[in-house]
Structure 1
Amino acid sequence: MKLTKREKSKLVLEGFVTVGLIFLLYYAVYVIFTRMVLAFPQFFRSIWILGDVIISVQGDNVISLTPFLVVLLSLIAVIVIYWRLKRRYRQMQLSHIISELHYIAEGHYDHRISHDYGGDMSRVVESIHVLVDSTVAAMEEERRIEQSKDELITNVSHDIRTPLTSIIGYLGLIEEGRYQSKEELQKYTHVAYEKAKQMKALVDDLFEYTKVRQTTTPLNLSQFDMIQLLEQLVVDFELEAAKKQMEIEIVSPLTELHMEADTEKIVRVFNNLIANALKYGKGGKQILIEVEANEKEALIMISNDGPPIPQKALSHLFDRFYRVDISRSQENGGTGLGLAIAENIVSLHHGQIEAKTEGKWTRFCLVLPLQQEQKG
């Protein structure tokens, strides 16, 4: 730390003051001790066992200090002066640190205190830097959360407004009697009904997304057979797959795979992934569900041979309201929350999910622990 001229002057003055105080103290002790020895010489000679090592009595009125005592007192004086100057220097260091802390607190969060401090002060400075960095990170996270909330409100408002406008429009036509036949009335009613279902799907997905996004969301854990669960899901999707001329097949060397999870939420994950493959795998013929496992984890991959997802879109697939093709998503009634919900459910189970394109296959790869960690 570089000292200012004023601070250097204070240190020099501190040194002179300390020397003067030590000299006065030594002199006072010498005078008092001399008078006591001269007043009671026999008494001190009887109890003094150090001989002339410390002091030397010469005659009746003269007491001289031995070289040993002079060296000892000088050493003590040097130690005291060093301690006082070091203490004052540390106070100056602390004053510098406090001054720079005030500067940082005024909003200069990129400023860093100099590392020209040694010992404990260096550790204090390092701790301050860690505290500032964590505070800045917390502020950035708070801003990100606020921005995320604003984006959520904007996206929800936009996605709800479109079907709501259609509902109001068609119901307005019915209310005003602006239809020519019963068939036209039924058409208007059907469109309003479909748009209302689209709104309900969005609200349901939004509710599910906000619920699973909370890290404190409880899991109703139970033991189940993953192979059997997937087979049942395939049966549920067979009719829809047949309409799209697609085939869903489970490929696994395992006949059963017992694991622990919240089955209701896990079903939601695979529902979303299979439904996503059916919606956006147009032109494809096959959906493969491959299942493997090791001692600790289940490895599940859902693949379809439909149109590949652009590489730049893969990293955004799990962002809420993200759609690779907005017009196609609106046509299929997608809310843009299905994959975000799936990712959050997988995270609640301490697993991972990712999307990738390999050749003609678009793959969603899941890794789930066979047993959930128990909180003690």
Structure 2
Amino acid sequence: MDIRLKKYSHSMTTKLIVFMIMLACFSGVMQAIANLVSVNDGDVGIVFEDNYFFSESYVRESENLISELTRLLGKYKSEENILKGGTINKDDQRMEEQNLFSEFQIDSKSYNPNLSEAENYEKFKVDYADKISELKDQMIKRDLREFHFLLNNIEEVKDPLYYASDGVNVYTNSIMKDKEQFKDYPSYMVFEGYKSDIYPKEIEANKYLNRITMELDEWGTENHAMYVAFPKKFLDSKINEWKEKKVNSTKGFYYLLGFSAGFILSFLYLAFVTGRKSFKDEELRLYAVDKLYIDLNILLCIGLITLWVLILDFLEIPNNLNWVIPITIPFSAACFVLILSMVRHVKNRTLFKHTLIYQIVKGLVQFVRNVYDSGNVGVKTVLIVIGYPLLIALTFFMFPITIGFAAWFALKKVKSFKAIKDGVERIKNGEIQHSIEIGGKGEFANLAANINSITDGLKNAVDNELKSERLKTELITNVSHDIRTPLTSIITYVDLLKKEKDLSKIAEYTEVLDQKSKRLKFLTDDLFEAAKASSGNIPVHLEKIDIESLITQGLGEVSEKIEELNLEFKFNHPNAKVYVTADGKLLWRSIENVLSNIFKYALKGSRVYINIEDLGKDILLTFKNISAYELNISADELMERFKRGDESRSSQGSGLGLSIAKSLIDIQKGKFMIQIDGDLFKSIICIPKHSNE
């Protein structure tokens, strides 16, 4: 029996069967994850929730309602308040007026650059008097639209019951006004000023409750009150719905654990037996796939995983769960074949030696050694044998002078060394501003200069670290804001869709959901592209590119967008043809990102200048436009990911376009930079000129 086990444990048939089991389990893991994400709108934590009142589902029932009521009473108050201009502050009005002044500077013939800005501003007030008077009306109309949108949302809420008041304005969907009436219900939330009363009390331990309390932190005053009550029928239906989702999620979670255990065991078995025919087999057998270099193997795995993710994303998984297993099986099969190949190289102790990089380095070292062995030693020997006697013969007659010069030279070097030693001791003791003064040139002078620069290097390192930490914090904040905005809208409209019976409203909500989901996909795609571009894992095919034709053709493709924004493009280029050495697709992608940035943030009706300059070895491509937003941040910060010139983040950009463009230009051996001069925004691309040699 033991002999049979040894015979079958390493047979190709057994390995093939276990490999298929591993693929099935891995596909099952992916399917279980997709099912868990699709159930309860991605709330996988429901598996570990013991009580409905501790769940995220409970908070969701009132989160959007409280948020909208807070905005209504905190900002808009009432329609009368909006019509009186109560929602408009001086800063907003001043910003809108400044945008009009920028338009006056560019388009108006009355603008005189020889006059002072104050004098031009007086002319602007006269010429644009009508438009300035209309600014407030436009801002009021915008606030009215948002006000009625929020009002319509809360008016459609039947359950839970609510009452909100700031002492003057009241919004409610019930006849109750007293908080004690709301407390008669099985669950309620009462917020008065800065005080709150929530029932059942265990809700206060709900880790998601801060999503509601955060909305109210800056809202509460003595006159503000908000009551929310959950009727028993409504609460029972939600509890039953939560229990049903918990059952389904728990079942999916157990499926995930089971498939994961099967996958891990089958993979460990294959990793243990691959390359050997028996337990006692000392010789490791490699296959044809093992001839592939390890680094190329890794790149191929990354490519397959990336393509798999892109296909699943394109099919909008987890909306189309039936496609998970058919797509996962072929990709996972290819990946695990490559992974098991790497396992065999680990067992064979050739993981590092079987890399393309190692082979190249090894070849270079061998080449240098061969050159050295082929004659350099002989040359050095000849120099030593001939040169040393000649030196002695030449200096023999002035031997005392040679000794004196050597002593003076040694003393000078000792003094330099002592100065460096004392200076390092002082710097070590905390005098980082101390400068070591060594005259002349040579190794000691260079060493002293390098030590003197250490303090500057330390200061720059600290400054860069602080800047890096700040930018990391802003990145997390910005990406969270950008992704949460469409996600919150999706959650809101899904909740509304669940309760809506009117087909026209359903169609309207579906359209909004489609827009927001596309927006979320756009942000995710841009984030993935930025990561891929910055990692440098993009194939580059350098070729001869006619830069003028590339830009002309590209502008033709976006002509509709140019006409829509009423932008006037001015294209200046040399009379002779200008060619660059670049990857056509990547170069156009970079230029397209710059144009996209212009379309999002350029002042409507303004001019955009594109200049091509021949610098000899390089070609300089410059894009200049007037920003519609006040550029109150530095060019370096604007190049960071998820940074926008629109600090309010109300525009539709992702803040990744310029970062992607820089990464793509860098891998083409070019340079990308931006410059800000007031409201003038410049994007500069420096790309190597094509050489005919």
TM-score range for the pair, normalised by the shorter chain length: 0.5 to 0.7
Note if 1:364 corresponds to 2:683.
yes
Structure 2 CA distance for partners of 1:259 and 1:189, relative to 1, 3 Å: same
- Partners of 1:312 and 1:131 in 2: how far apart? 33
Q: Which residue of 2 aligns with 1:284?
A: 605
Q: Which runs of 4+ in 1 moved over 4 A?
A: 92-103, 111-116, 120-144, 214-218, 306-314, 360-363
What are the superposed Cα offsets for residues 49-108 of structure 1, whole Å, 9 maximum, x if unpaired?
Answer: xxxxxxxxxxxxxxxxxxxxxxxxxxxxxxxxxxxxxxxx9xx999978876764xxxx5
Q: Which residue of 2 aligns with 1:181?
A: 502
| Runs of at least 5 residues in structure 1 that lack an aligned partner in the other structure | 1-88
What are the superposed Cα offsets for residues 110-167 of structure 1, whole Å, 9 maximum, x if unpaired?
Answer: 4758879xxx999877665555664665565455445433432232122211111111
Note if 1:355 corresponds to 2:675.
yes
Greater share of residues in helix: 2
What are the superposed Cα offsets for residues 153-188 of structure 1, whole Å, 9 maximum, x if unpaired?
Answer: 2321222111111111111222xx322422211221
Note if 1:172 corresponds to 2:492.
no
Structure 2 CA distance for partners of 1:223 and 1:126, relative to 1, 3 Å: closer
Q: Please tell me the residue identity of whatever aligns with 1:236.
A: E
Structure 2 CA distance for partners of 1:101 and 1:364, relative to 1, 3 Å: closer
Alignment of 1:175-254 (within 5 A): 177-214=498-535, 219-248=540-569, 250-254=571-575
Deviation of 1:258 (Å)? 1.4
- Partners of 2:420 and 2:573 in 1: how far apart? 67
The percentage of aligned residue pairs carrying the same residue is 27
Structure 2 CA distance for partners of 1:137 and 1:282, relative to 1, 3 Å: closer
Q: 2:614 aligns with which of 285, 288, 293?
A: 293
Q: Please tell me the residue identity of whatever aligns with 2:650.
A: Q
Q: Which residue of 2 aligns with 1:334?
A: 653
Q: Please tell me the residue identity of whatever aligns with 2:643.
A: Y
- Partners of 2:653 and 2:617 in 1: how far apart? 35
Deviation of 1:259 (Å)? 0.9
- Partners of 1:210 and 1:289 in 2: how far apart? 28
Q: 2:481 aligns with which of 154, 158, 175?
A: 158
| Runs of at least 5 residues in structure 2 that lack an aligned partner in the other structure | 1-414
Moved more, 267-276 or 147-156: 147-156
Q: Secondary structure at the match of 1:336?
A: coil
Q: Please tell me the residue identity of whatever aligns with 1:339.
A: L
Structure 2 CA distance for partners of 1:192 and 1:128, relative to 1, 3 Å: same
Structure 2 CA distance for partners of 1:311 and 1:155, relative to 1, 3 Å: closer
Note if 1:318 corresponds to 2:639.
yes
Structure 2 CA distance for partners of 1:122 and 1:334, relative to 1, 3 Å: closer
Alignment of 1:61-76 (within 5 A): none
Alignment of 1:20-169 (within 5 A): 103=429, 108=430, 110=432, 112=434, 130=453, 134=457, 137-138=460-461, 141-142=464-465, 144-169=467-492
Contact 2:420–2:436 (CA<8 Å) still a contact in 1? no
Q: Please tell me the residue identity of whatever aligns with 2:546.
A: D
Q: Which residue of 1 aligns with 2:380?
A: none
What are the superposed Cα offsets for residues 223-277 of structure 1, whole Å, 9 maximum, x if unpaired?
Answer: 2111121122112201222333445454333363211113232212211222222
- Partners of 1:158 and 1:267 in 2: how far apart? 30
Contact 2:590–2:664 (CA<8 Å) still a contact in 1? yes
TM-score (norm 2): 0.34
- Partners of 2:436 and 2:615 in 1: how far apart? 52
Q: Which residue of 2 aligns with 1:77?
A: none
Contact 1:309–1:362 (CA<8 Å) still a contact in 2? no
Cα RMSD of the aligned pairs, angstroms, is 4.3
Q: Please tell me the residue identity of whatever aligns with 1:283.
A: K
What are the superposed Cα offsets for residues 201-237 of structure 1, whole Å, 9 maximum, x if unpaired?
Answer: 2222223333333578764322211112112211220
Structure 2 CA distance for partners of 1:313 and 1:133, relative to 1, 3 Å: closer
Q: 1:345 aligns with which of 664, 667, 671?
A: 664
